[in-house]
Amino acid sequence: MSMPRYTLTLWRIAVFIAALVPLAYWSSQVAINAAGPEPGRYLLLNIGQGILWMLLLTLSLTPLTKLTRWKGFTLIRRQLGLWTLTYALLHLFCYAVFILGLDLSRLGSEIVRRPYIIVGMLALTGLIVMGVTSNKWSMRKLGKRWKTLHKIVYLVLGLGLLHFLWVVRADLEQWSLYAAVGALLMILRLPPIARQLPKFRQLIKRPGQARA
Amino acid sequence: MLIKIAKPGDLRESDVTPESVYLSRRRFMGGLAGVGAGLALAGRAQAAASDYQDVPAGNPPGWFKPKLENAEWDSVVPADRELDKLTPFEDATHYNNFYEFGTGKSDPARNADSLETQPWSVVIDGEVANGGRFDLEDIAKPSRLQERIYRLRCVEAWSMVIPWLGIPLGDVIKRAEPTSKAKYVKFETLVAPDQMPGQDSSFALIDWPYTEGLRMDEAMHPLAILGLGMYGRELPNQNGAPFRLIVPWKYGFKSIKSIVRISLVEEQPVNSWQAIAPDEYGFYANVNPKVDHPRWSQATERRLPNSLFNPNIIDTRMFNGYADEVASLYQGMDLRKSF
Ligand code: HEM
């Protein structure tokens, strides 16, 4: 599907702004005192779910591209990946600053002592590794290994869900929804199923796509 | 220190009045002595009108109003009222763990309107001579309402300071005439999925009814009360209306809400959280800064409300600061094992 260049640029800017909206909204809730008596934890938890949103959206781009062949989805993959990392860093920031009051010795001891935090840190490390190798230079340098390296995104998804599962206290409904979407996205990557995706395109064909 | 629940007149101030719990602002005699000694020596006969100015009026049952007018205000208050300032009513009523109404902290405030609290009856059964189903009014009637300003320490490492209105749990138990076999007290919350949407979730890990328990001597301790109100009014639904437990030296989840059944039993009951995660939540759940929850430290707590760059972190105290009063209950026990 061909589109003018500027449309794609606008699309990328729109995605950028859309990714900022939740952060702006949560911050405004804190600013107007509508985030409850523990605003730091409000941000921590919301941003924590935000990481999963970003991660799942990032992982949905490849199947969406297969379904639609629209290159706009591929174009925002790196951006959404970096948003996932940004949210994760903000989540860690909330924890260290708003929950622990920047008590670094406690941060250190909590990181080594609590399994759910260890798992979170592992996931964050994976995101950081992908983030710093998300540039053209690294892609050239790593060649084929780049693709292999970025498969750790699946590990990050698993670790993120495990971390969340450990946080959940009494009701698994929300967690199950994230896990179900994650599982669906993984299934869509299984080669026999991934191969079928372009065929579905015929079913959802719209006039614009017919010319692609 | 031994705390006996004694005949009127048996309790001396020195027996029961902890250093940390002043009797009243004007240091009247009384305080905890009101327990057992009946109506002896109130803290304050009148609520200061200014205390709860901003608190919205509720819709209490008719019998509640005269009790409120006759309440003993400031019956137990924190020693340091600057450090332990009252949590604003708005925060205490919009930041709740009450999973019957959802798992988010603001869910109970949003969903608890559907709870029908009038009329309310409570079954008292098990090892008692005088059991049965009682109207809440009749359970409350013989005891004078007392205001207890307690620290509330949640197992999630945050805390508040709440002015409860309640009656001593020991009074209610004594009236039920426990038999010699009564070793524990078991409490159950209402089960009503039509009123409590959280009980309708097929993903809930709690096996309703929410259940809690106390050892007999814990239940008879003068600090343990059955709450009917807070902030000078009846309990809002999301805070466990119309009848809940308050055990200030234990983590908040022990203080079970919207109670419909109190059973005196011989065997130690399994409380709901212990049933879900026995390695994380024990039967005793005494506030203890030295025993961490597996997922976080209990050494400190965030006193709410806090703000982003001032998380208001304070040291957690043994038995939530009520060690002078309750430590003797646990003498000789390994609190690391009996957590
Ligand atoms: C990519 C990695 C991560 C993901 C996807 C993630 C996701 C989440 C999610 C979804 C929640 C629960 C939100 C809720 O209950 O509504 C959460 C909570 C939490 N996370 Fe993370 N997280 C990650 C990394 C980390 C790291 C690195 C840390 C700390 C070093 C951390 C610390 C916490 C804490 C303390 C909580 C709150 C627990 C509580 O008080 O209930 N997370 N996280």
For A51-82, letters b (16+ CB in 10 Å) and e give bbbbbbbbbbbbbbbbbbebebbebbbeebbb
Check whether B232 has a pLDDT greater than 50. yes
CATH number of residue B315's parent domain: 3.90.420.10
Residue B22 lies in a domain: yes
Which amino acid is residue A93, in one-letter code?
F
Which residue matches tokens 């970003």? Answer: A54
Check whether A126 has a pLDDT greater than 50. yes
Residue B6 lies in a domain: no
Q: Give yes or no for a contact between A48 and A40, defined as CB atoms under 8 angstroms apart.
A: no
Residue B338 lies in a domain: no
For atom 14 of ligand 1, the residue with the nearest CA is A45
> pLDDT confidence of A136, banded at 50, 70, 90?
very high
Give me the pLDDT at residue B38, please. Answer: 32
Higher pLDDT, B2 or A206: A206
> pLDDT confidence of B53, banded at 50, 70, 90?
confident
Residue B3 lies in a domain: no
Does B309 sit within 8 Å of A171, measured CB to CB? no
Give me the pLDDT at residue A202, please. Answer: 75
Q: Does B289 touch chain A (CB under 8 A)?
A: no
Q: B296 has which bridge partners?
A: B293
Check whether B237 has a pLDDT greater than 70. yes
Count of other CB atoms within 10 angstroms of residue B57: 9
Give me the pLDDT at residue B50, please. Answer: 65
3-state secondary structure of A71: helix
Give me the pLDDT at residue B5, please. Answer: 40
> pLDDT confidence of A2, banded at 50, 70, 90?
low
Q: Which residues of B touch A166 (CB under 8 A)?
A: 295
Q: Which residues of A touch B105 (CB under 8 A)?
A: 36, 38
Mean of the pLDDT values across residues B139-157? 97
* Residue B242: both structure tokens together: 């119309």
Q: Does B99 touch chain A (CB under 8 A)?
A: yes
The reported pTM is: 0.89
Q: What's the number of domains chain B is made of?
A: 1
Q: Is the peptide bond before B119 cis (omega within 30 degrees of 0)?
A: yes
Mean of the pLDDT values across residues B152-169? 98
Does A39 sit within 8 Å of B103, measured CB to CB? no
Check whether A104 has a pLDDT greater than 80. yes
Residue B230 lies in a domain: yes
For atom 41 of ligand 1, the residue with the nearest CA is A167
Residue B335 lies in a domain: no
Residue B2 lies in a domain: no
Give me the pLDDT at residue B48, please. Answer: 67
> pLDDT confidence of B54, banded at 50, 70, 90?
confident
> pLDDT confidence of B73, banded at 50, 70, 90?
very high
Q: Which residues of A touch B158 (CB under 8 A)?
A: 38, 41
Angle at A92 between CA A106 and CA A12, to 5 degrees: 170
Does A37 sit within 8 Å of B306, measured CB to CB? yes
Q: Does A78 touch chain B (CB under 8 A)?
A: no
Instruction: Give the per-residue SS3 of chain B.
Output: CCCCCCCCCCCCHHHHCCCCEECCCCCCCCHHHHCCCCCCCCCECCCCCCCCCCCCCCCCCCCHHHHHHCCEEEEEEECCCCCCCCCCHHHHCCCCCCHHHCCCCCHHHHHHHHCCCCCCEEEEEECECCCEEEEHHHHHCCCCCEEEEEEEECCCCEEEEEEEEEEEHHHHHHHCCECCCCCEEEEEECCCCCCCHHHHCCCECCCCCCEEEEEHHHHCCCCCEEEEEECCEECCHHHCCCCEEECCCECHHHCCCCEEEEEEECCCCCCHHHHHCCCCCCCCCECCCCCCECCECCCEEEECCCECCECCEEECCHHHHCHHHHHHHHCCCCCCCCC
> pLDDT confidence of A199, banded at 50, 70, 90?
confident
Closest among B126, B213, B137 to B176, alpha carbons compared: B126
Residue B312 lies in a domain: yes
Mean of the pLDDT values across residues B211-235? 98
Closest among B68, B86, B75 to B44, alpha carbons compared: B75
Give me the pLDDT at residue A169, please. Answer: 78
CA of A92 to the centre of ligand 1 (A): 8
ipTM of the complex: 0.88
Give me the pLDDT at residue B60, please. Answer: 95
Q: Is the peptide bond before A115 cis (omega within 30 degrees of 0)?
A: no
> pLDDT confidence of A188, banded at 50, 70, 90?
very high
Give me the pLDDT at residue A170, please. Answer: 82
Domain span including residue B321: 13-330
Give me the pLDDT at residue B15, please. Answer: 43
Give me the pLDDT at residue A151, please. Answer: 97
Check whether B43 has a pLDDT greater than 60. yes
